[in-house]
Structure 1
Amino acid sequence: MSVTRRTLLASVAFSGALGSLFAGSSRAVPPPRRGYGPLVPDPRGLLDLPAGFHYRVLSRAGDPLRSGEGPVPANCDGMAAFDAGSGRVRLVRNHENRTTAALRVPAARGLTYDPQALGGCTLLELDPAGAVTAERVALAGTAVNCAGGRTPWNTWLSCEETEDRAGTSGYTRDHGYVFEVDPADPHRSGAVPLTAMGRFAHEAVAVDPYRGTVYETEDAFTRPFGLFYRFLPARPLGGPGSLRAGGVLHAMRVPGLADLSVVDEPGAEFPVEWVPVPDPSAARTPVRFQDFGPGGITHAQKLEGCYWGDGGVHFVSSYARRLEGAPADHHGQVWFHDPRRSTIRLDVLFGPAADVQLPGDSPDNICLAPDGGLMVCEDGGGAQYVLGVTPDGEVYPMARNAQDIGRPGAPEWGEFAGVTFAPDGRTMYVNAYAPGTTFAVTGPWH
């Protein structure tokens, strides 16, 4: 993200732009001033895209894994694409399975952490034409694998969004960790929890490719809300397996600001401090409940998407609600942390939207697009979109989940997750969380 883009985004509050672009889930979407034009209803009822764009269904929950290990697991979530050489791509995909999941990640020898946990990751391999040539388990026996993030050495960090201990929900081991997955050979990474990175309800991570610092978000929707963390590895940028060597975990404090939700001015900037986490293992007390000293610590409801770009880390607060204990309401924030200046800045503010059927609330997974803009997955009420944001701050619809999973007379659409781009920038991959579907989208990308 360029300085120009950041400056322009700082002046944008999404409520006005979204209100003019969208008229609700049952009405046509007017063409935006930028982007790729209005969405065209899909005759197959799967994915609405702008004219000229096409999708390929790569995988659907319940279909057989090509490895023969069992059916494709449910609840497709965070994802990343890796260059496999000669035009081939590897996709690592999380499955946010809880104890009630109907389609678990099959247990696999050497890749299973806790046989009683149903989540994990699967790995898809694509040929130069984009066809799936292999699909298999890459991590099993983990719980509620929500998002994560890629490393500079081309592995995937998969995050457990839970704090359940052994003996809870039938689990045989403690959960709430980050796991490293090597897409080139998952057996090289195995199923080893990176315990020094903390035990809490992880959502996403982003790695500083210059210093090796790992930033982590905590998705907590009840008080006390989650924290924003940094992990200083003992072996920064040490390559696959190096995060097992441990390190130091800190939580972010913004002096005088107890909760990020009260900030409603895009462009507002604050200094930050980093406070050592007293007990990253949360042996007796969950991290966000721990005593961080007289200055306290800064919380935020639903800290979710997290990625690295423009020399810093961007992270998302999906929403804040007074009715759930937040000091203020908002429909989504995107923040930027500049580690060189030790500051954070509110770049984007979603809402307030008067109608929950309108898209543009509850941003979740987020990534940089090849044109320097953003792609944002929605996880809110009503119709569910992948929204694009141009480098100069224009908002436009990129995709709509057309798969109705509701009851007769009460339509419902599942969230999007795991948006990511192929290494060459010509294909966007994204998951419909429910029904679990992985799409590859091609077309006239800018």
Structure 2
Amino acid sequence: MDRRTFLRTAVVGTGTSVAFGFTLWPEAMGYPARTGPSPYGALQSADVNGIMLPQGFTSRVVARSSQTVPGTNHVWHSAPDGGACFANGTGWVYVSNAELSSGAGGVGALRFDSNGNVIGAYTTLSGTTRNCAGGETPWNTWLSCEETDRGYVFETDPFGVKPAVRRDAMGRFKHEAAAADPDRKVIYLTEDESNGGFYRFVPTTWGDLSAGRLQVLKEVNGVLSWANVPDPDGGPTRTRSQVSGMKVFNGGEGCYYRNGTCFFTTKGDNRVWAYNAVTNTIAIAYDDNLTSNPPLTGVDNITGAAVGDLYVAEDGGNMEICVITPDDVVAPFARVTGQSSSELCGVAFNPAGNRLYFSSQRGTSGTSSGGITYEVTGPFRTSL
């Protein structure tokens, strides 16, 4: 049996061959996702912003790096990366990391009213390094992760009221993304190393990230388990080298949790993984080697819609955001043209699920100061 045939049926790391759908939705075909028609139809010609979208969808620019956000006195940060939305009264806030080196990173925020108008912009974290991705918590904070050797996680207030706090207990490594699992009361964490781990942080008290245990996923004889990382500080021995039998992942990127499953991406092998926390098993939800004419390459940030669709942004590829449906079909949802020296990131839905935000990190100029943050509106599906 060749690799492609085996991986189409195998649940990796369980010692058994089982096919299952990537959500709890019925009638799922089973992993991995394969190339197919988009539920939104074909991409149309590029709009005025150079974005190809399905019929009925429109885009607009909400902020540009190095420029003042219209209607505010705030200059939008360079190199926008991971992001998320938070409800704020009748409106919402979109937060965005700044992936800048040498202490120039941080987090910026856009405040929207109920009609989607930008009514404020501000900084919630500054003085940090290479804030790449992160994740939201159930108690409405944003975890901003430093993608640097022995980087930190910072817990920030999207609403700009409380000061950011460095969460040392969550470990020091090349952090990428985070996803909260309120069912098991843990935070999953990815590591952007070619021999990186997949971690979870178990807070002593749920809702308080000041203390707890950092654990890493290990695999011995096909059986998965979680092991405590002896020294979360990662010095002198890096966290990924402290636990024998740690399951290795090639370049951890985006991370998203729903319905008992944590989905995360690895750029080194262009995969989307699905860790089933209920059964403690892991599967390949997408692999560009396991489908014909793969639309999704350069996997990066990931988010999901309430209906069950996953949206994965590309760092490279065709500069697309691709959708993976609950029946395991992968197809392009959006394509940004004329920006081949950039990457897409920060995909996030507003609380109502009818507006999608994302950034092109280096925009048309190909430089960090040329980043562009967009909003897409249209008939996002609410049922299958």
TM-score by length of 1: 0.74
- The CA distance in 2 between the partners of 1:35 and 1:7, in whole Å, is 15
Is contact 2:296-2:331 (8 Å) kept? no
- The CA distance in 1 between the partners of 2:322 and 2:353, in whole Å, is 17
Is contact 1:351-1:361 (8 Å) kept? no
Is contact 2:61-2:375 (8 Å) kept? yes
Shift in Å at residue 7 of structure 1? Answer: 4.5
In the other structure, the counterpart of 2:130 is 144
- The CA distance in 2 between the partners of 1:317 and 1:11, in whole Å, is 15
Deviation beyond 3 Å, 4+ runs, structure 1: 1-7, 65-69, 352-355
- The CA distance in 1 between the partners of 2:61 and 2:168, in whole Å, is 36
Amino acid at match of 2:240: R
Equivalenced residue count is: 352
Match of 2:31 among 10, 14, 29: 10
In the other structure, the counterpart of 2:204 is 234
In the other structure, the counterpart of 1:72 is 76
- The CA distance in 2 between the partners of 1:54 and 1:308, in whole Å, is 28
Shift in Å at residue 340 of structure 1? Answer: 2.9
Superposition map of 1:219-230 within 5 A: 219-221=192-194, 225-230=195-200
Amino acid at match of 1:179: F
1:392 to 2:323 alignment: no
Shift in Å at residue 53 of structure 1? Answer: 0.7
More strand by share: 2
1:211 to 2:184 alignment: yes
Amino acid at match of 1:209: P
- The CA distance in 2 between the partners of 1:347 and 1:340, in whole Å, is 16
Is contact 1:45-1:403 (8 Å) kept? no
Counterpart secondary structure, 1:272: strand
1:315 to 2:264 alignment: yes
In terms of mean alpha carbon deviation, does 191-200 or 35-44 score higher? 35-44
In the other structure, the counterpart of 2:285 is 347
- The CA distance in 1 between the partners of 2:327 and 2:277, in whole Å, is 24
| 1:352 to 1:362, Cα distance in 2 relative to 1, 3 A | farther
1:192 to 2:165 alignment: yes
In the other structure, the counterpart of 2:144 is 158
Match of 1:252 among 188, 200, 217: 217
1:116-167, Cα deviation, whole Å (9 max, x unpaired): x00010010011121111111111011111111110111111100002xxxx
In the other structure, the counterpart of 2:95 is 92
- The CA distance in 1 between the partners of 2:263 and 2:215, in whole Å, is 17
Counterpart secondary structure, 1:351: helix
Is contact 1:178-1:202 (8 Å) kept? yes
| 1:43 to 1:67, Cα distance in 2 relative to 1, 3 A | closer
Shift in Å at residue 401 of structure 1? Answer: 1.1
1:297-342, Cα deviation, whole Å (9 max, x unpaired): 111111111111111211212223xxxxxxxxxxx22222222322
Amino acid at match of 1:182: D
Q: Which runs of 5+ in 2 are unaligned?
A: 1-21, 364-370
Is contact 2:256-2:302 (8 Å) kept? yes
In the other structure, the counterpart of 1:289 is 241
Shift in Å at residue 349 of structure 1? Answer: 1.9
1:386-431, Cα deviation, whole Å (9 max, x unpaired): 0112221222221111233xxxxxxx24211111111111111111
Match of 2:105 among 119, 135, 144: 119
Counterpart secondary structure, 2:29: helix
Match of 1:56 among 57, 60, 67: 60
Is contact 1:94-1:121 (8 Å) kept? yes
- The CA distance in 1 between the partners of 2:277 and 2:310, in whole Å, is 21
Amino acid at match of 1:68: N
State percent identity of aligned pairs: 37
- The CA distance in 1 between the partners of 2:372 and 2:202, in whole Å, is 36
Is contact 2:320-2:332 (8 Å) kept? yes
| 1:353 to 1:392, Cα distance in 2 relative to 1, 3 A | closer
| 1:47 to 1:11, Cα distance in 2 relative to 1, 3 A | closer
- The CA distance in 2 between the partners of 1:182 and 1:202, in whole Å, is 19
Amino acid at match of 2:358: V
| 1:33 to 1:346, Cα distance in 2 relative to 1, 3 A | closer
TM-score by length of 2: 0.86
In the other structure, the counterpart of 1:366 is 302
1:183 to 2:183 alignment: no
- The CA distance in 1 between the partners of 2:156 and 2:179, in whole Å, is 15
Indicate the RMSD between aligned Cα atoms, in angstroms: 2.1
- The CA distance in 1 between the partners of 2:341 and 2:321, in whole Å, is 13
Amino acid at match of 1:243: L
